[in-house]
């Protein structure tokens, strides 16, 4: 089977490698010529994806995987085309920006040949496959869906850094326009994926047909929107607990000790390509979803809320030096997509502070490229804000930051023993804040 993968990013390239490992002849398409060149040299273009480099080193020299910038080189011969191109959301309007997706769809449609399965794995608003992309493909290609080609929505459900593990762990959801398309999609993904036994699931792990693209689109939005709403609730509890001398982490642990409570952890920011974005895709077709909107706004406001609490503690920040620890949106990845670092830095600067940023995954040159002054452990600072829960930050002590007057721990990873006589403001741990502040 010949498979074309459109978009060789942090999800698309591991998917291409997975298909090639399963015996498909894979051609990856990407507009980034440098990335294409690296793939053809069997070099991973980005670090951190477990097993990716080893698989590239095996598959590319064997001729099972290659990359190109030319759709005409990949699409006409493909039995299946899988699209994993980014979909952006306008920061002001919260409306989806389909520019890249539209461009990729037009390009593949220009070269589509009869009999091809076209699978969209990029997360989409409900109804997008049927109402936007299928008509676009039909108009440009002159082919008819369910007669000449088959369209399916099959959302990626993996986390960067562990894509191959997650492909085995979670059911592969599909939703096609027609029964024939669903059967083609099932055959395709069953030929490419193997699944871990999951006795906890209501049916065997594998390819799950949800019956329509709309159901499959909603399933992906629902699972990610649930997490954003849940974190929003956890943040509400954390802010309340912090104001009332309560340790919210003990509360969450106690609540989750029975099977009907699954409260997530609070945090200074919700980042990444998924959780901050997909609720807004959902809202684009369901604007009356007030619960979703409220949670998204609350989570987006957390950096400013915690900096406001620092101002209440220290007074105005004008002239103070702040060290923000963590640029990545989460530990274990070198990725700043929708990271809370941007809002934290912006709010600190708005308050008059001089800001420097540290992250063990980024060089000083890379941090400077974002417009930030790099911070080095050992340099003095008045305020420390822990934005990412990198394990290195759990080991820091007050001796590592001379002159520090306040630590804002937005991830609950510090300990009072490492910061003696330094007030710590731990999101959601009112007991820590009360005891530390009383002794300072």
Q: What is the CATH number of the domain that holds 328?
A: 3.40.50.720
9-19 pLDDT, tens digit each: 999 999 999 99
pLDDT of residue 92: 82
Whether 219 is covered by a domain: the verdict is no
Whether 245 is covered by a domain: the verdict is no
**Looking at residues 15-28, what average pLDDT do you find?**
98
Element (H, E) at 325: strand 321-325
Instruction: Give the Cα separation of 291 and 229 in Å (integer).
Output: 7
Domain identity same for 58 and 206: yes
**Looking at residues 26-55, what average pLDDT do you find?**
95
Percent of the chain with pLDDT over 70: 98
- Per the CB < 8 A criterion, the answer to whether 356 and 323 are in contact is yes
pLDDT of residue 19: 98
pLDDT of residue 439: 37
Residue 436 has pLDDT above 50, yes or no: no
pLDDT of residue 10: 93
Domain identity same for 184 and 291: no
Q: Which of 211, 243, 263 is the last residue of a domain?
A: 211
The CA distances from residue 422 to 114, 122, 155, 384, in Å, are 68, 46, 47, 11
pLDDT of residue 332: 83
Domain identity same for 276 and 417: yes
Residue 94 has pLDDT above 80, yes or no: yes
Domain identity same for 378 and 303: yes
The CA distances from residue 316 to 5, 79, 312, in Å, are 52, 62, 8
Instruction: Give the Cα separation of 23 and 3 in Å (integer).
Output: 10
Domain identity same for 258 and 146: no
396-418 pLDDT, tens digit each: 999 999 999 999 999 999 999 99
Structure tokens given for 188: 């395709």
The residues facing 407 across adjacent strands are: 384, 424
Domain identity same for 203 and 323: no
Residue 274: active-site member: yes
Total domains, the chain: 2
Domain identity same for 378 and 295: yes
Residue 432 has pLDDT above 80, yes or no: no
For residue 403, the enclosing domain spans 254-439
Q: Which of 183, 211, 239 is the last residue of a domain?
A: 211
Residue 55: active-site member: no
Domain identity same for 68 and 169: yes
pTM equals 0.92
Domain identity same for 172 and 62: yes
Phi, psi for residue 83 in degrees, rounded to 5: -105, 120
Instruction: Give the Cα separation of 67 and 311 in Å (integer).
Output: 52
The single residue of 64, 172, 220, 297 carrying the catalytic annotation is 220
**Looking at residues 140-165, what average pLDDT do you find?**
96
Domain identity same for 293 and 362: yes
The overall average pLDDT reported for the chain is: 95
Structure tokens given for 80: 């299946």
**Looking at residues 246-273, what average pLDDT do you find?**
96
Burial string for 295-317 (b: 16+ CB within 10 Å, else e) reads: bbebbbebbbebbebbeebbeeb
The single residue of 10, 64, 172, 274 carrying the catalytic annotation is 274
What lies within 8 Å, CB to CB, of 173 at 6+ separation is 154, 155, 157, 208, 210, 216, 219, 220
**Looking at residues 184-196, what average pLDDT do you find?**
98
pLDDT of residue 437: 44
Residue 362 has pLDDT above 90, yes or no: yes
104-152 pLDDT, tens digit each: 999 999 999 999 999 999 999 999 999 999 999 999 999 999 999 999 9
pLDDT of residue 438: 38
Q: Which of 179, 211, 243 is the last residue of a domain?
A: 211
Residue 81 has pLDDT above 60, yes or no: yes
Domain identity same for 16 and 145: yes
Domain identity same for 279 and 416: yes
pLDDT of residue 48: 84
Following DSSP, what letter does each residue of 134-191 receive, concatenated? HHHHHHHH---BTTTEEEEE------TT-HHHHHHHS-EEEEESSHHHHHHHHHHHHH
Whether 242 is covered by a domain: the verdict is no
């Amino acid at each position: 089977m010949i498979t074309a993968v459109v978009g060789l990013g942090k999800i698309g390239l591991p998917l291409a490698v997975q298909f090639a490992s399963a015996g498909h002849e894979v051609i990856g398409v990407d507009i980034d010529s440098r990335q294409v060149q690296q793939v053809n040299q069997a070099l991973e273009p980005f670090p951190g994806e477990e097993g990716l480099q080893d698989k590239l080193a095996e598959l590319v020299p064997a001729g099972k995987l290659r990359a190109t910038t030319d759709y005409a080189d990949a699409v006409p011969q493909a039995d299946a085309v899988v699209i994993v191109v980014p979909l952006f959301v306008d920061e002001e309007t919260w409306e989806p920006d389909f520019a890249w997706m539209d461009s990729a769809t037009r390009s593949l449609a220009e070269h589509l040949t009869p009999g091809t399965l076209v699978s969209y794995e990029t997360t989409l608003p409900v109804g997008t496959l049927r109402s936007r992309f299928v008509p676009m493909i039909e108009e440009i290609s002159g082919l008819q869906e369910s007669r000449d080609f088959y369209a399916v929505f099959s959302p990626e459900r993996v986390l960067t850094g562990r894509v191959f593990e997650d492909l085995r762990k979670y059911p592969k959801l599909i939703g096609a326009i027609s029964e024939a398309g669903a059967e083609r999609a099932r055959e395709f993904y069953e030929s490419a994926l193997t699944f871990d036994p999951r006795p906890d699931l209501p049916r065997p792990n594998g390819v799950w047909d949800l019956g329509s693209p709309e159901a499959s689109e909603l399933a992906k939005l629902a699972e990610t929107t649930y997490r954003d709403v849940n974190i929003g609730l956890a943040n509400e509890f954390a802010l309340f607990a912090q104001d009332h001398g309560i340790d919210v982490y003990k509360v969450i642990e106690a609540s989750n000790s029975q099977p009907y409570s699954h409260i997530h952890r609070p945090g200074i920011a919700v980042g990444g390509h998924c959780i901050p974005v997909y609720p807004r895709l959902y809202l684009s077709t369901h604007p009356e979803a007030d619960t979703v909107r409220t949670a998204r706004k609350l989570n987006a406001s957390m950096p400013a809320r915690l900096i406001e609490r620092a101002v209440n503690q220290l007074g105005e920040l004008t002239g103070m030096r702040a060290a923000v620890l963590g640029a990545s949106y989460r530990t274990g990845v070198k990725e700043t997509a929708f990271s809370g670092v941007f809002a934290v830095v912006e709010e600190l600067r708005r308050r008059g502070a001089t800001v420097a940023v540290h992250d063990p995954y980024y060089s000083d040159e890379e941090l400077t490229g974002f417009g930030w002054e790099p911070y080095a452990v050992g340099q003095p600072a008045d305020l420390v804000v822990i934005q990412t829960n990198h394990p290195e930050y759990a080991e820091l002590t007050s001796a590592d930051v001379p002159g520090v007057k306040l630590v804002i721990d937005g991830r609950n990873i510090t300990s009072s023993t490492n910061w003696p006589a330094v007030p710590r403001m731990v999101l959601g741990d009112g007991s820590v804040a009360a005891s530390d502040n009383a002794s300072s």
